[in-house]
Amino acid sequence: MSICVKWPSVIRVAFFAGLAGVICLSCSSHRFEGKIIAVEHQMGAPAGEGAMLVLLDPDKPDKPAKSILENFESACAPSLSHDGQYLFFQGKEKPGEPWQIWVMDLNKGNPARLTTLDENCTDPLSLPDGTVIFSREAKVKGKELSHLWRCGMDGCCLTQITYTPAKNLYASVLREGRVLYFSSQQYPETRDAALMVMRPDGTKSEIYSYGFGGLLPVSGGAESLDGYVYFIAGDGQLSRVSHRRPLHTFENLSEDLAGSFASVSPREDGSILVSYRPEDAGTHNLFLMEPGTDNTPALLFSSEKNLSDPVLIAAMETRPRILPSPVNPDNPTALLMTQDINHSMLPVHAGISGDSAASKIRISTMEGELAVVEAKEDGSVYLKLDADTPFRMETLNSQGEVVRGPSDWIYLRPGERRACTGCHADPELAPENFQPLAVKEDPVVLVAGQQDIN
């Protein structure tokens, strides 16, 4: 297989100049430094099956791509540590094995297995504190799910960090320290996918972006230095939102480009490296784009197979923040306060015959109704719940009719304290500065075996 480069000289000079600046930041030199590792896979093959990690050399564009893991049946989803020294990936040594998470010390070149689990483990993410987040398949209530887990670089301290009955995949870390991930609810019914954001310990999980209209996220997000988060939406559409207002700034960057996108990787010079298949092409190849301009994508590397998920092997200039964690493993409960259950950006359910204002809230777990709690006169509610247990809420009027809901699934980590402005309220909205009536009393206890209401 041959690799060719067809790009304008100005773009090529700028790309390599930016590349050289990034490379100089690496802590130590190794044979992969300054190269690009990408995934090469056959068109039409099942997700990841038969895929290989290949090495591309920007200084030698005519040099054939070289597999870096000859003894693997399949390998994909590369993720680089922030010092540029370790490459994480999902791999299979033999056909029929479950996917597992692997790490390769790029100074030594030898891969080591990080997980040894019965389920498929995919999409590793290296965090700046030296831990790793990945997706692990699960089956709950007959539904195929994926939870996010976290472990050390040697596989120790394995901890589940998401608990919603959803497919939670494609985690990435934002510069401010939180983790962005793709989520698609599977139980009790399948709902539209969205991008979610949380702290690396699983606390404060909330909606980040729904996409726009029919263009729903189909990948995780990748943040650029100029404040955008890029992702693939709909049928291969390249999209982005502003990190300042992700719910209200959706842009379809490929609206005037025929073809489809498979992955996107922002570069430090403001350009983006994309896996793109023009309308008249047979495979996805690697292109360079300048967002916000009329410049068409410039071909960088091509292959007879698909190329995607490029990773530049270099240290990051600005590493993400390491956030403190409030999780207390010795505390199996958590606290939730809602400021006003009637504060919502959604209309009330059509067809209710009674009051349109809610006075109660119903909490349900995956096992059914847990409790109905009276709100205070100002609409506030204060609850003590089992940690790491998904639940949903509905608001009820005095006649017992559902005013709004059910909500998306929510979970709280051990010892977490969480507050929201209302039910289905805009997550970008800051709460009013007053003390809700509910927090002037002890929380309503809904912990298993300790409920203080019926």
For residue 18, what pLDDT is reported? 43
For residue 452, what pLDDT is reported? 63
Pairing of strands 259-266, 272-278: antiparallel
Whether this model's pTM surpasses 0.85: yes
Contact 45, 51 (CB under 8 A): yes
Residue 102, amino acid:
W
Third-level CATH fold of 333-445: Immunoglobulin-like (2.60.40)
For residue 22, what pLDDT is reported? 39
Q: Phi/psi class of residue 387: alpha, beta or left (left: φ > 0; alpha: ψ in -120 to 50)?
A: beta
For residue 422, what pLDDT is reported? 73
Alpha carbons 358 and 344: distance in angstroms, whole number: 11
All structural domains of the chain with their residue ranges: 9-312, 333-445
DSSP codes of every residue in 19-62: HHHHHTT-SS--TTTT-EEEEEE-TT--TTTT-EEEEE-TT-TT
Q: What is the mean pLDDT of each run of 10 residues along the chain (454 residues)?
A: 36 40 47 93 81 91 84 96 96 95 93 96 97 97 97 94 98 98 97 96 96 92 96 95 95 93 93 95 94 88 92 91 96 96 89 93 96 96 98 96 95 96 67 84 90 57
Class of domain 9-312: mainly beta
* Neighbour order of strands in the sheet with 251-252: 222-223, 228-233, 237-242, 251-252
The dihedral built from the CA positions of residue 367, 371, 376 and 378, taken in this order, carries a sign that is: positive
